[in-house]
Structure 1
Amino acid sequence: MAAHASGQPGWRRHAWLVPAALVAVLIGLLCWGAWVYGYDPAWFTGSRAWWLPALETNQDWTMLAAMALLAASLSAYWWPRRRQQLPIGLISVVVMVLTAATLGLASYIPCRGRVSTTGVVFWILQLYVGQPPNIYQSVQPETAKALACGGAPPLALQLGQIAGLGATLIGAIAFGAVLWRQPLGRLQSRFARDATIVTGLSSLTIPLLKQLTETARSPRAIIVIEPEEDHALLEEARLTGARVVIGDPSSTHLLRPIICTWRGCALNHLYALRDNVQDNERIIDAATGILRRYQAVPDRHPHLVALIDDPRHADHWRGTHSGTSSVWFEDALSSAEATARGVVSRVLRAQPRHLLVCGDSTLTVAILLELARRAWEQAELVKAAAIGRAADPATPPPSDEPSLLPLDRIALLDLRAPDIKREYLASAPKATLESLPAVVAHPVRWHDLLLKTLDAMDPAQARQTAVIITESPPGSGVHEAGRVARLHPETPVFVLALAGAGMDGAIFDLLHPFEHGLLDEGEVPEDTWTRVARHWHECYRLSHPLPAGHPQSPARLPWPELDPFLKQDNILELRSILSAVAACGRQWAPVHLVPPGSVIELSEGDLDGIAIAEHTRWQQRRLAAGRPGEFVVPWAELPDHMRDGIRSHLVSQLAQLEDVGFVPIVPAGGPPGAARYERVGLVRASQLSEPLAWTTHAGEQMHGFAGDWHVVDDKGNMRTVSDPDFQASHEPAGDGRWRRIGVYRAWQVEQAVVIRTKEGKATAQQGDWVVEAPTGERWPVRNEQFGWSYRPTPGQPRRPEPPDQAIAPAATSSSTAPTISS
């Protein structure tokens, strides 16, 4: 059982018996030789046995063999048990003390003469302080009987002296290690070459810590920082083999020598896993404060991960902390999200066509979001594979040809099912929602309807149906799940169980209990940014296939088979793009938190700058690694088609980031040059009873909807405005006229940008203005029109003079000159 629990084959745990038996035989032989030699020093010369020379007092090889076998037996005993944190120092001391005592007794008893037993014991004790009595040399043979113990000490005594002094030294070192454990742990941490820091010990985080130590290059590369010296799980953390440092994990004084050693930045991951989110944020802030002083390391990308158990909070935190640095990544870890990944993977392996999700908990929405993400990823891979086949029909299809998820129908069974569906629709990005079949909500008690629903299916349909029960508190749905699994043994049933009751497989029929955790099917979960980088790579290799034997074919391998250098390069590419976008004055944000009609797309100049920055990083890293190539040249030396391809690929990468929920926005309030302006003027307006299509002065097609307002100013410019926005920005002036009111922020653009307004995409040309409403909505206004429809508020700087440029021609689809202004 012990061998199985430790994950080691039984023979490894018992291999120490072989060298231990050999060293026992050798020590026994040495003791026997010392005993005979003590009574008859001429014994060696009088015997002709072939093995006797091995016991002579001047034989170094016998001593070395005995010490080597002793060290081998101790090492073989400790190695398969090293993660159990056995007191190997104490075990070594005990073995060496007993060895020294045995060898000393066998050597001294023949020489005791009239010395008391206490005297002999004193002789033995002197072995442990390195000052053994010179019994053999001090005896002067005067008679035949006095010849006993004459001559050089036997090998047994020589080995006993080494074992005794060694036991004392090892004991002193072990005692000092315990006494100075904390300072020693901190000192060792300073020399870590590749450190992963973990803070926060709990029943939820210990499995993650164990997996980190098992998959790390060395368990000692994992450093646990715990402020409580008497924490109940501290010893269990030590049993994993990780280094444990006692101290405040948010202290820069403690973190700095661990993160940045004398070799440079050593941090790989930092997991802030304390129960309190504010504590985790303080730890992350302390780490970023240290990393901010250093430039980006080409081959290192520290990941700073904060435990935020609420998936809603985790999603928001992740979005607002992305792309903040070119040195590190920040990510949030949620047990609901990690559990959802594992459950969805197990469910999809069953290839169901129908899915019934029962219960109301944060895990329910997390599972729906994960399903949508998986469906989108597979759809993108299928699309990429189709592009690759069209580009090169002669190249055989990949062995891992992607396919769409088999799901045709997803149903929610719970009294709160409509609200669960609403939250799911409000949380998932539009692209992922469109990839998953529509979710049907049934506001019923799932305990009453689940079995009836399955009973009403024909056997073939029931076999193609899977059930997920996420009822909270954990374990409350196990009873009903067991009944469903027993009555429908061919239907997979996955149920949230109590902690410790989860299993990798089915316990009977197809009942699969699972539990909350931070692991993804027993593995360290893939962080958000590695997942994005992996998907980018898979889409690129499928859309750009190469024939077998091509020099570039190693770069087209699937992610698990990819060279670590190339795998890391994909992650660094993502970091480069995120930070380059942020350097353009943008802020990454979750899509569902962005106000409608407020997104300003990156300009052509921004895209060129980001593409150049990423290519320069890519080129410099390859040159530093000694990997030159045809296109490993500065941006200016690339052929036009390569520059166009890099830029086009960047656009697709940004689109995929937005599809999974991350969009770069101009921060609320606009760039630093934005100011407050008061709206002036009168307009005529009428409410639409049907949709209206119209065009901007640049010819862009826009759309108004029934209930919106059709607004025309005194210059004949028109637009449509939604009813809530119109009511907030206009007041009646009589005779069908409305006065424009309100103070809005605005700024002039230096290069053309596209704004995604509520009515459609509209372009602000160079010199035009972008206006931001208090709700966050934005729209472009021509420079000429801005001059008479807005005026600076008191205390604001005057509007800059208009640039000397031609005004774009007015649209010709109307008798007036339409624009986006209200």
Structure 2
Amino acid sequence: MRVSDGGFGDPRRAPTANVLRLLFAAIGVVSVVFGYFGLREYAPDGQSLSGSPLDLLYYDLQLFVLGSPPLDEGGPYPVLLDIARFSAPAFTVYAFVEAGRALFATELRRWRIRRSRDHVIVCGDGMVASTLTRRLRAAGEKVVTVPSGAVTGTGSGAVPTDAGPDALRVAGAARDPDVLRAAGIDRARALYACTDDSAGNTAIALSAARRGRRTPLCVYAQVADPELCLALQARHLGLAEPPGARVDFFNIDDLAARKLFVQEPLVAVRGGPPRVVILGATAFGRAVLAELARRWRVREPHGPNQVPVALVDDEATTTAAQLTHRYPFLSRVCRIIPYDGGLPELLNDDRFALPPDRVFICYDDEERALKTALTAEQLWHGGPGSVVVRLDRLASLRAAFDHERGDHLLDDLSGALRLYGVVHAACDPALIGDDLVERLARVIHESYLMSRRRHGEQPEANPALVPWEDLPEPLRRTNRDQAKDIGRKLRELGCALSPRVGPGEEHSLAESEIERLAILEHQRWLSARVAAGWRYAEDRDDDRLLHPAVRAWDHLHDDMRERNHDAIRELPAILADAGFRIVRVGDA
């Protein structure tokens, strides 16, 4: 069975501190007992103290403050009392030392946080936040956490945590500027808002992004609803002047689906596309369908055959229609066969040939998902890792099926079964960092490649005609800047971005609008190039910073103008790839 990486469960703390505390607690109890009975035996000047138990207890407790009136008469003392008059003050000294150490440690942690640089702040203490924190620390990052329980609290300050001596927490409401300042936001490298409240995460992200800083900050906010996440991304991308901070909203199911197909891409079977079954049109199921289509389109851009996909859910037909509307490329890449119902409807219908090559069991009910995987033998014939089961709480069960370990307890169906921990897969800092701007920049570059190849250009004449992975960083930055500028251009036309959720009228760019936006794009590109030291020359020379397009629009060659026109014509398709459309909201 194919399993994802480990990472569930923190390492146990060293027991030294707890043992020491238990030892001194025992000394305290022994001091009270020995002191009481010792005072009963002690009788200065022949007067017994055993007549009043409350007096004995009172004198006994005074041993802890380095003095008790009956002992002022001097010895000799009974053995028990002699032990107690030394052990009780020792316990008191230890208590003072512990209190001072705790106070000093709190102040030290607060000072360390305020003086930290390039650290990461994680807000929340649920499964997402704790998993992300472990992954960040495993990667060597300095992490400061703001627990979910403290998000609605007041005040601020560094408090200890159970994750080890280097783990730091800051109590208080994370959207409060004072709490963010206590967490070292002015020197932090990134902030992740991962509480269970999507609205709270958005407020935290916006509060962090509004702070003026000299160094760039990356802010990521978790949003549980994928459609709300898409809408927030649209509103942020649609800004005419984006803030200095890099802000993105992420959804766990979308990230996990992306990671899944990076690890296990679809491959051709019997010379054609694989047959796929998706059980459950949940958020993860919808993300799986969109991502497999996106990946297959890149793999087979001119493939004549669609991927047959059986979508099984009570609302399968409705969901299929919604997804093909949201992602227009979906209907070109996949032949979706919806089954309104459950697995029996699929097994009793001959529209989809069984057995499938890949199965994704995406139910939110984890027990139902696992039960389906272990009882539906008709789905077990796709080979190693072909049956993927979405899990969260039960993801630790994968060790029981892992035949690569010697202590496996359950059969993994000859390797076909793969238990997939969605939260653990999605909590990859690198994956979260691959934000919307980065993805749009990649699609912009891919569109540019196809456009230039249609015009017959070769990589020898244009160093930008290489895959994104091989593209030099300055050229990647150019594509990112182009993606960030989309909101400003659309605002010039009285348009805005809208998520492709539900019916709506999409605005088609007229030729005059394409011309206007092409001029704006060239002006943006020209300003950036001139600022970087580029100059005009008839022949391009990247080493000497020479380019034939470094001149005003009116003086550009026709082919250079056409490149800008092509980039604007492709804009609706680029946005549709991410689930957006252009809509008119006002006058130009």
CA distance in 2, matches of 1:316, 1:654: 17
Matched, 1:331 2:253: no
* Matched residue SS, 1:441: strand
Match of 2:171 among 224, 246, 253: 246
* Matched residue SS, 2:128: coil
Match of 1:666 among 564, 581, 584: 584
Is the 2:451–2:566 Cα contact (8 Å) retained in structure 1?
A: no
State the shift of 1:655 in Å.
3.6
Distance 1:420 1:651, change over 3 A: closer
Match of 1:314 among 225, 229, 249: 229
CA distance in 2, matches of 1:594, 1:532: 24
Alignment correspondent of 1:186:
113
CA distance in 2, matches of 1:85, 1:332: 33
CA distance in 2, matches of 1:621, 1:198: 35
Alignment correspondent of 1:468:
360
Is the 2:265–2:295 Cα contact (8 Å) retained in structure 1?
A: no
State the shift of 1:529 in Å.
2.3
Is the 1:195–1:223 Cα contact (8 Å) retained in structure 2?
A: yes
State the shift of 1:422 in Å.
3.4
State the shift of 1:219 in Å.
0.9
State the shift of 1:511 in Å.
1.0
Which one is further off, 328-337 or 173-182? Answer: 173-182
Alignment correspondent of 1:517:
423
Alignment correspondent of 1:616:
527
Which one is further off, 504-513 or 194-203? Answer: 504-513
- Residues 614-651 of structure 1, C-alpha deviations (whole Å, 9 max, x = no match): 33224424669x97511288542874243442343343
* Matched residue SS, 2:248: strand
* Matched residue SS, 2:242: coil
**Paired residues, number:** 461
Q: State the AA in 2 paired with 1:574.
A: A
Match of 2:130 among 206, 221, 225: 206
State the shift of 1:594 in Å.
6.8
Distance 1:273 1:628, change over 3 A: farther
CA distance in 1, matches of 2:228, 2:312: 25
State the shift of 1:249 in Å.
1.5
CA distance in 1, matches of 2:194, 2:107: 27
Is the 1:577–1:614 Cα contact (8 Å) retained in structure 2?
A: no
CA distance in 2, matches of 1:435, 1:236: 52
CA distance in 2, matches of 1:197, 1:415: 41
Aligned 1:649-660 pairs, distance under 5 A: 649-660=567-578
Distance 1:280 1:376, change over 3 A: same
Is the 1:338–1:518 Cα contact (8 Å) retained in structure 2?
A: no
Is the 1:208–1:524 Cα contact (8 Å) retained in structure 2?
A: no
CA distance in 1, matches of 2:285, 2:268: 20
Is the 1:256–1:290 Cα contact (8 Å) retained in structure 2?
A: no
Distance 1:479 1:595, change over 3 A: closer
Q: Which runs of 4+ in 1 moved over 6 A?
A: 83-90, 171-176, 257-260, 452-456, 545-548
CA distance in 2, matches of 1:405, 1:512: 30
Distance 1:364 1:659, change over 3 A: closer
Match of 2:441 among 521, 533, 536: 533
Is the 2:161–2:167 Cα contact (8 Å) retained in structure 1?
A: no
Distance 1:563 1:414, change over 3 A: same
CA distance in 2, matches of 1:330, 1:643: 32
Match of 2:327 among 421, 424, 429: 429
Q: State the AA in 2 paired with 1:250.
A: R
State the shift of 1:417 in Å.
2.4
The structure, 1 or 2, with the larger RCO (C-alpha pairs under 8 Å, 6+ apart) is 2
TM-score by length of 2: 0.65
* Matched residue SS, 1:472: coil
* Matched residue SS, 2:368: coil
State the shift of 1:515 in Å.
3.0
* Matched residue SS, 2:276: strand
* Matched residue SS, 1:501: helix
Alignment correspondent of 2:35:
none
Is the 1:408–1:437 Cα contact (8 Å) retained in structure 2?
A: yes
Match of 1:414 among 299, 305, 313: 313
Distance 1:590 1:646, change over 3 A: same
CA distance in 1, matches of 2:473, 2:342: 50
Q: State the AA in 1 paired with 2:265.
A: L
Distance 1:489 1:622, change over 3 A: farther
* Matched residue SS, 2:570: helix
Question: CA-atom RMSD, angstroms?
Answer: 4.5
Aligned 1:802-817 pairs, distance under 5 A: none
Matched, 1:443 2:443: no
CA distance in 1, matches of 2:502, 2:530: 36
* Matched residue SS, 2:277: strand
CA distance in 2, matches of 1:658, 1:552: 28
CA distance in 2, matches of 1:445, 1:412: 10
Is the 1:354–1:407 Cα contact (8 Å) retained in structure 2?
A: no
Aligned 1:211-360 pairs, distance under 5 A: 211-215=135-139, 218-220=140-142, 222-226=143-147, 228=149, 235=161, 244-255=169-180, 261=186, 268-291=189-212, 302-324=217-239, 325-327=241-243, 328-345=245-262, 348-351=265-268, 353-360=274-281
Matched, 1:477 2:369: yes
Question: Which of these two proteins has the greater Rg computed from alpha carbons?
Answer: 1
CA distance in 2, matches of 1:406, 1:599: 29
Q: State the AA in 2 paired with 1:607.
A: A
State the shift of 1:410 in Å.
1.0
CA distance in 1, matches of 2:183, 2:533: 28
Q: State the AA in 1 paired with 2:442.
A: R
Is the 1:208–1:519 Cα contact (8 Å) retained in structure 2?
A: no
The runs of 5 or more residues in structure 2 that have no matched partner are: 18-97, 154-158, 404-411, 536-541
Distance 1:487 1:374, change over 3 A: closer
Is the 1:358–1:471 Cα contact (8 Å) retained in structure 2?
A: yes
Aligned 1:392-791 pairs, distance under 5 A: 404=303, 408-426=307-325, 428-430=326-328, 432-446=329-343, 448-449=344-345, 462=355, 465-484=357-376, 488-491=380-383, 492-501=386-395, 503=398, 507-509=412-414, 510-517=416-423, 519-520=425-426, 524-525=431-432, 526-541=434-449, 544=452, 553=463, 555-582=464-491, 585-592=494-501, 595-596=504-505, 602=513, 604-621=515-532, 629-631=545-547, 634-636=550-552, 639-640=556-557, 641-667=559-585, 670-671=586-587
Q: State the AA in 1 paired with 2:417.
A: L
CA distance in 1, matches of 2:105, 2:221: 32
* Matched residue SS, 2:134: helix
* Matched residue SS, 2:211: helix
Distance 1:405 1:320, change over 3 A: farther
Distance 1:577 1:597, change over 3 A: closer
Is the 2:220–2:249 Cα contact (8 Å) retained in structure 1?
A: yes
- Residues 171-201 of structure 1, C-alpha deviations (whole Å, 9 max, x = no match): 9998776131442143224xx2x45432112
The runs of 5 or more residues in structure 1 that have no matched partner are: 8-82, 91-170, 384-403, 672-748, 750-822
* Matched residue SS, 1:205: helix
Is the 2:290–2:327 Cα contact (8 Å) retained in structure 1?
A: no
Distance 1:619 1:655, change over 3 A: farther
Distance 1:174 1:569, change over 3 A: farther
State the shift of 1:355 in Å.
0.9
TM-score by length of 1: 0.48
CA distance in 2, matches of 1:416, 1:573: 39
- Residues 372-394 of structure 1, C-alpha deviations (whole Å, 9 max, x = no match): 33345456xx37xxxxxxxxxxx
CA distance in 1, matches of 2:448, 2:324: 29
CA distance in 1, matches of 2:126, 2:545: 49
